[in-house]
Amino acid sequence: MKRTTWIAASFAAVSLVSCAKAEIEQTDEEGIMRKLVFNTTTFSQEELTTRADGKNVRAAKCSKLDFVMYDAEGDVFFSTEQDSATTVNFGSISINEVPYGRYQIVAIAHNAKVHASISSSSFANFNGSVPETFCKYYVLSVDRETPASLSLELKRIVGMFSIKTTDTMPSDVQSFHLQTTGGYTSFNPQTGLGVADMTEEGKTEGSKTEEGKSTVRNIDFDNVTSRIGKTFDPFFYTFLASEESSISVTATAKDKGGKALFSYQFSNVPMKINHQTTYTGRFFSNGLSSSFTVDDSWGDNINKEF
């Protein structure tokens, strides 16, 4: 018996503009198996960040989709990696002969240079980098009574830290470096929270991140000389171990020989998933001392002076 129904799947996350419709052909073979064909439109995120002056910046598009379907034993039943630049009908996922049963689905949308490394439904990363990431974990029971309509909403699971200098970069600055602690480069797709990296034995530290297990990240910014005589707005994303957390960031501008010219340590930086924390102030004018304010523009505003 062959039945044709319709499924509406929408991928969205706060400012994420995502809309998809999918036709699903459901074929029962002796009442134990189905064929599912998902045809979705490209999801995109538009004008995610708005500056204080009202200008929209860093508009982006999720160019990659990573999808994994696990069976009841936790083994991979189906997986696919899609890239909008090379995948015909990007966003369309076809799954043939799906036996009745219980499945876990992990869907990750992002704009990283590499696809997500998904070790299990509870552990994934991007090999040390952290792009703006949207994720959905879903438990699906496939049987004759499975609803014909399925809605998936991918939510942003990272926090964002940025510096907005109000003074211009001097000509002797040749490189810019950030070191951060308190955040994570791996996450649990089931919860969207940051987790410790794999142990030497190849096992994770657990679904709940242990104190002191956060990642120390060193982030170098290329071609900073193009910003000489201009303001500089470095930023990065991070996974957090809880909805609200704090991190520490040390920002350093160096000369050609690697000598620190300007440096500032941001301690107890308030971070929140789906929020942007921005420090605004003079960085290059006061040597090793600067003054900044904090603005969070993704969710509720956070204003802080120190």
Read off the pTM: 0.77
What's the confidence (pLDDT) of residue 170? 95
What torsion, rounded to 10 degrees, do the Cα atoms 217, 171, 55, 20 define? Answer: -40
Name the CATH architecture for the domain at 159-305. Answer: Sandwich (2.60)
Query: Where are the domains positioned within the chain?
Result: 2-156, 159-305
**Domain boundaries 2-156, corresponding CATH code:** 2.60.40
Mean pLDDT by 10 residues, the chain (306 residues): 35 34 42 57 38 42 87 94 83 77 91 94 95 90 71 83 93 95 96 81 43 76 91 96 95 93 92 90 68 52 42
- Nearest-5° Cα angle at 248, 244 to 253: 140
Tell me whether domains 2-156 and 159-305 share a fold: yes
Three-state SS for 226?
Answer: helix
Q: Which amino acid is at 127?
A: N
Q: Hunting for tokens 């929209």 — which residue is that?
A: 56
Q: How far is residue 88 CA from its own chain's centroid?
A: 24
Q: How far is residue 204 CA from its own chain's centroid?
A: 20
What's the confidence (pLDDT) of residue 1? 42
Q: Which amino acid is at 168?
A: T
What's the confidence (pLDDT) of residue 62? 80
Q: Distance between CA 192 and CA 273 in Å, rounded?
A: 9
Q: Distance between CA 196 and CA 33 in Å, rounded?
A: 38
The β-bridge partners of 137 are 106
Q: Distance between CA 303 and CA 13 in Å, rounded?
A: 24
Q: Hunting for tokens 């996922």 — which residue is that?
A: 93
